[in-house]
Amino acid sequence: MRGRGFRVGVRTRLLLAVVGAVSLALLIGVAAFNLLLDQRLTDSEVALARGQAAAESSALRVAGGHLVTPETPDEGVKIGSPVWVFDGNRPLETPRVAPSLTALATSMADGAERTMRVKEQIRLYALPVVHDGVRVGTVVAGVPLDAYDETATIAFVGSVTLAVLLLGAVTLLTHWILGKALLPVSRMTEDAAAWSDHDLDQRFDRGEPYDELTQLAATLDALLERLSASIRHEQRFAAELSHELRTPLARIAAETELALHRERSSNDYRASLEAVHRNADQMTRTVDALISVARREAGLSRATSDAREALRNATTSVQDEAEAAGIDIRVSVPAEPVTVAIEPELVERIVQPLLENAVRYGKRTVSVGLVRNGKMATIEVVDDGTGVSTEERNRIFEPGSRGAAAAAAPGGVGLGLALAQRLAHSVGGEIAAEPGESGGRFTVSLPLA
């Protein structure tokens, strides 16, 4: 297992990268500046030394093939810049300097025109004296370098100091800029940490993306939207599953409780077990239907079925309630198969809530019909109850909403029709409620295979 090691944040890494890059640039700049300055100072030293040597050479005379120095009151003494004059290799004029320096000047007397920097902080320049094409001597001029070295030192210290100050200023400015630039990220992090799993509607909401940070916020908002939809889907699935299983579970509980509270005949026990089996089978089909719609919404399932068989199963599942309420269910289906592009369990789960409502709110008769209608199969469920008003025809399909007739009846949470409509939409179908006071009329349209 790898150790976690030392880790730094994005802001610190960016700051270190900027400081490193600026440090490298300043280092190169300071080095280049001082190298260039040193070269210019060297050129200036050489030019000055050569000028002095040329000036001294112009004052010399040639007599009998030999150099003759002009007679001056201060012969052999030069203030500030020492000058040596050689007739051939014989010194004619020697300044009062260290013997080692005179020895170096003498070594340059018989060579070509050249320059030399010596450790005594002086630059020597040797200039041959030529008369009628013949070399008759040499002038060696020296230039003290104290002023030049001081200039180079001041320039080096100044450039390094300026570079350090610039680096400090860039570091502080970069730290401030990065803090401002990454502030939205810090706030987004704090917001995300503060949100709980119940804050499904919270978003960063940074507006229209125009840079990397707002693009990140938009991407995270889209991700949160998908996560929110997934969580809502799970919550809805759990609510729908609870709603759909509640009725068959209540029937099973009632049958078993009745069977356990008093002695019954073998036929009665058998009838109870058959009722339990029917309701357990209905629960299985309910779970299969919800799983089928989940797979269909994920694009993993496509099947066909005979709508007639699904309609008969849905009718059978509410037969006991219909008999208990004195409702006569009349079913009319074609003789030929009506094949729809839907799983049979799904067709049953779409129609069953309509049948349950018809039995619950009807008075004497419920009619169920199936016909072909172009590319769709149409299932019509009609009861002779109070019907649906115009104001309720759309609202009753919303989760948690119940119509006027349902509101007066005990129980129910308003999920049956909402689930049926969602299942119908998931397969490309539709459920419509026809308003009227002569009874409820619901029409289910499902695509044919």
Q: What is the pLDDT of residues 118-158, one digit of tens each?
A: 876 899 999 999 888 888 999 999 999 989 999 999 999 99
49 or 232: which carries more pLDDT confidence?
A: 49
Class of domain 233-447: alpha beta
> Where do the CATH 3.30.565.10 domains begin and end in the chain?
233-447
Q: Does position 194 have pLDDT exceeding 90, yes or no?
A: no
Q: Measure the CA–CA gap between 142 and 134, rounded to whole angstroms.
A: 24
Weakest-pLDDT range from 193-197, 322-326, 423-427: 193-197
Torsion sign (Cα): 83, 87, 93, 96: positive
CA 248 centroid distance within chain: 48
Confidence of residue 299 (pLDDT cuts 50, 70, 90): low
Q: Percent of the chain scored above 90 by pLDDT? A: 33
CB 374 within 8 A of CB 446: no
Q: Measure the CA–CA gap between 129 and 77, rounded to whole angstroms.
A: 20
Q: What is the CA radius of gyration of the chain?
A: 53
What per-residue confidence (pLDDT) applies to 6? 58
pLDDT digits (tens, 9 = 90+) for 302-360: 678 899 998 998 898 888 888 888 999 999 999 999 999 888 888 888 898 899 888 88
- Alpha carbon distances (Å) from 425 to 288, 342, 393, 429: 18, 12, 17, 5
Weakest-pLDDT range from 229-233, 368-372, 405-409: 405-409
281 or 427: which carries more pLDDT confidence?
A: 427
Bridge-based pairing of strands 441-447 and 376-383 is antiparallel
Angle CA(100)–CA(101)–CA(103) in degrees, nearest 5?
65
What per-residue confidence (pLDDT) applies to 22? 94
Region 396-409 average pLDDT: 62
What per-residue confidence (pLDDT) applies to 413? 45
CA 183 centroid distance within chain: 16
What per-residue confidence (pLDDT) applies to 230? 66
**Global confidence as pTM:** 0.50
338, exposed or middle or buried, with CB in 10 Å at 0-12, 13-18, 19+? Answer: buried
CB 61 within 8 A of CB 70: yes
**What tokens does 63 get?**
């007599």
What per-residue confidence (pLDDT) applies to 286? 66
Q: Quick one: which of 195, 224, 9, 226 has its CA closest to 216?
A: 224
Q: What is the largest CA-CA distance in the chain?
A: 162
What per-residue confidence (pLDDT) applies to 75? 43
What per-residue confidence (pLDDT) applies to 182? 79
- Ramachandran category for residue 352: left, alpha or beta (phi over 0 → left; psi -120 to 50 → alpha): alpha
Q: Measure the CA–CA gap between 329 and 211, rounded to whole angstroms.
A: 65
Count of other CB atoms within 10 angstroms of residue 49 = 25
- Alpha carbon distance, N-terminus to C-terminus of the chain: 56
359 or 274: which carries more pLDDT confidence?
A: 359
**What tokens does 14 get?**
């960016």
33, exposed or middle or buried, with CB in 10 Å at 0-12, 13-18, 19+? Answer: middle
Which range of 239-248, 372-381, 391-400 scores highest in mean pLDDT? It is 372-381
